Structure 1
Amino acid sequence: MSIIDETVRWLSEPNRWSWTDPAGIPYRTVEHLEFSLLSLAVAALLTIPLALVLAHYRRGEFLASSAVNIGRAIPSFGLIILFWFLASRWDVSTTFWPLLLALVALALPPLFTNTYAGVTSLEQDTVDAARGTGHTELQIMLRVELPLASPVILAGLRVAFLQLVATVAIGAIVNDGGGLGRYIVDGFALGAGGYGEIVAGGIAVIALALVCEGVFALITRFAVPRGLALQHRGRSENPHAVAPDPS
């Protein structure tokens, strides 16, 4: 039997499309998304407010640049194993916390960097105008800088979330859930008889990542005002362009 035949046979099993059976792809997809979204939410709460404040006062530039390098250097699998080892030594549940902490750590660098860069790249005249009209520093951050930096922040959220979706699959090695990655791990455990499950699990992870990419594109399209999105795109294509005089 070829790998394609094994994959089709595995996908055609009666419980494969159940929302309530752990063997079902919909069940594992929801589990995969729950872990990814929870990790993204925790990382965003820890990172975006801090980056917004530091960028507003033009502090933490070294921290922002370091976050880029740290984000590139951190091995996701190594983090998962490290937290799993610490949890097992400290008698903490290894089915939830190791993967969650590893995912949050992976999402922090792109969220911090994009938020900081998005705010510091704004025209200072806009901030000064808001300050001149009587806005407090908090109002400037929330009503001026945060909305104007939203395209860059959303880009950071997209990068972080796609990285999380991919890493949850790896986390199935140390997590009893693991989302769609459970199929890949279980397939390897079966040896030659699990090739169909491995292929199906890999295709499911790729499909989920593509769908999430499309969803984030729609969110960006509808959440960011069209004029601001076009302005940001123009600056990205021509970073040396001079903004037109509003008068």
Structure 2
Amino acid sequence: MKLAADNGLPGLHRVVIWFNDPGNWWGPAGLLTHVREHIIYTCIVVCLAVLVAVPLGLAIGHTGRGTLWVVGLANASRAVPALGLLIFLIVLVSPHIHVSGGLGTTVPAGSVPYLVPVLLVLVLVAVPPLLTNSFAGVQALDPAVREAAAGTGMTPLQVVVKVELPCALPLIMSGLRSATLQVIATLTVAAYAPLVGGLGRLIVDGHQNLGDPRYGYPAMVAAGLSVAVLALAADLLLSAAQRLLVSPGIGLSATPQRRAPLSRRLLTRNPRSAS
């Protein structure tokens, strides 16, 4: 296609040339700046989603109350179109946010009214896998383990923190990995909001002028490849963190025989609960 070639060079060669140009890597509009923005936004969104979804999922799994409503709404939110909701919130919410200052170079002045809808949309994307996995992890726990822990004198909060949370951690980490990958991928739509950066900025701006050798088609492909590499790196990092944090006896690959010692230890501390 003529659009994918410039001066006789195939599109792939143009992307290679783009990557080999140091001017495309550095500076306020360089690739590394957008990667840094993408990582910062992702960390903010995932942390907010964890603070909301994990305690709520643990509470629902422990008490069994609100299961149909909360988990049903979480699953329904998966079908919400992120871009459409973002544009709707920009029109509805942004005019009522009056903040002129920014937060350094990552959040420039005037971008806060548009960044808030972006964060709301992405948190909505990240909450469902964390919420459902936290709930499912607690529900999968053997009731005898929970009863034995309560029989040893643990308060409900201690049962949740010291027994249910460690046992649910494999599924929670799985939900965290899924949520992080979804946020990294969906964050590209944030560039449709004015003054908001991230790798999506290269894609949105490049689409407006595909023939530009620096900000057009090559920049779009470079941003797409960077998102894929960033998602792969995040998944590998979280996978390593999961292996460090999760006890081998309660891992997803653990057999019932390997999980049994935990139940026996708790039941041994309170023999009456086994009768």
Matches within 5 A, 1:1-247: 1-18=9-26, 21-92=27-98, 93-193=112-212, 194-229=216-251, 232-234=252-254, 246=264
Matches of 1:148 and 1:234, distance apart in 2 = 11
Q: Alpha-carbon deviation of 1:234?
A: 4.6
Matches of 1:124 and 1:205, distance apart in 2 = 42
Q: Alpha-carbon deviation of 1:177?
A: 3.1
Matches of 2:120 and 2:63, distance apart in 1 = 29
Q: Alpha-carbon deviation of 1:91?
A: 4.8
Whose Rg is larger?
2
- Partner of 2:211, secondary structure, is helix
Report if the CA contact (8 A) 1:168-1:178 is conserved: no
Matches of 2:173 and 2:77, distance apart in 1 = 17
- Partner of 2:141, secondary structure, is coil
Report if the CA contact (8 A) 2:34-2:198 is conserved: yes
Q: What are the superposed Cα offsets for residues 164-205 of structure 1, whole Å, 9 maximum, x if unpaired?
A: 001111111114233111111111111333111111111111
List alignment gaps of at least 5 residues for structure 1: none
Q: Judge which range, 132-141 or 68-77, deviates more.
A: 68-77
Aligned length: 239
Q: Alpha-carbon deviation of 1:13?
A: 2.4
User: What residue is the counterpart of 2:5 in the other structure?
Assistant: none
The letter for the 2-side match of 1:202 is: G
Report if the CA contact (8 A) 1:71-1:110 is conserved: no
> Alpha carbons of 1:3 and 1:59: their partners in 2 closer, same or farther (altered >3 Å)?
same
Give the fraction of aligned pairs with identical amino acids, expressed as a percent.
36
Q: What are the superposed Cα offsets for residues 64-84 of structure 1, whole Å, 9 maximum, x if unpaired?
A: 441453133111112211211
List alignment gaps of at least 5 residues for structure 2: 1-8, 99-111, 269-275
The letter for the 2-side match of 1:228 is: I
Q: Judge which range, 62-71 or 153-162, deviates more.
A: 62-71
- What do you get for the CA RMSD once the two structures are aligned? 2.2
Matches of 2:97 and 2:174, distance apart in 1 = 38
The letter for the 2-side match of 1:90 is: H
- Partner of 1:135, secondary structure, is coil
Give the structure-1-normalised TM-score.
Answer: 0.89
The letter for the 1-side match of 2:202 is: Y
Report if the CA contact (8 A) 2:248-2:254 is conserved: no
Report if the CA contact (8 A) 1:16-1:25 is conserved: yes
> Alpha carbons of 1:95 and 1:10: their partners in 2 closer, same or farther (altered >3 Å)?
farther
